[in-house]
Structure 1
Amino acid sequence: MSKKITRDNLFKPTRSESKSAATDHAARDILESETAQREAKTARLREARLAKEAAEREEALAEPAGKAPRKKKRTKPE
């Protein structure tokens, strides 16, 4: 015999093992793609939020500081 016998070439995987391995591989691929999509969306939304906050800060700094609003006078009840 020229081939060395190992557990990989001595026994062939049973049908249930190969099906479960294929299912596991497919499920992991789906989960990885969903994770990548979620992370991309989170990064995109974070960038949009930071840009909006920066624009609001610039707008607040551009407004002149005016007078404080007047308080209403209280009237005494009769």
Structure 2
Amino acid sequence: MDHALINSVFTPTAVNKHETKGDVTTRVAREILDQETAARDAKTERLRAARLAREAAEASIPAAPAAKKTAKSSARKAAK
């Protein structure tokens, strides 16, 4: 297979001569984890803001009064 073609598709990253393959793997894994953590934190903040906005909207709407029991349903329970 042509190495020029492979290198054009899979460009090798510039690696410090002192950085071993294990170091590269560790660095890349930490970068991925940092990106995932940042995305998770952003999502958490977005959901928290949405929840607080929903709770504020619900607090401004007065609660409906509780339904009163009818005499008919009370009489049925007493007959049992």
Q: Same fold (TM over 0.5)?
A: yes
| CA displacement at 1:71 relative to structure 2 | 1.5
* Matching residue of 1:69: 67
Paired position in structure 2 for 1:55: 57
1:32 aligns with 2:30: no
Count how many residue pairs are aligned between Structure 1 and Structure 2: 59
**RMSD, matched Cα:** 2.4
Gaps of 5+ in 1: 1-11
- Higher mean alpha-carbon deviation, 68-77 vs 41-50, is at 68-77
TM-score, structure 2 as length reference: 0.61
The amino acid of 2:50's aligned partner reads: A
Q: Percent identity?
A: 49
TM-score (structure 1 length as normaliser): 0.63
Aligned mates of 1:72, 1:23 — CA distance in 2: 71
SS of aligned partner of 1:21: helix
For 2:21, the equivalent position in structure 1 comes to: 19
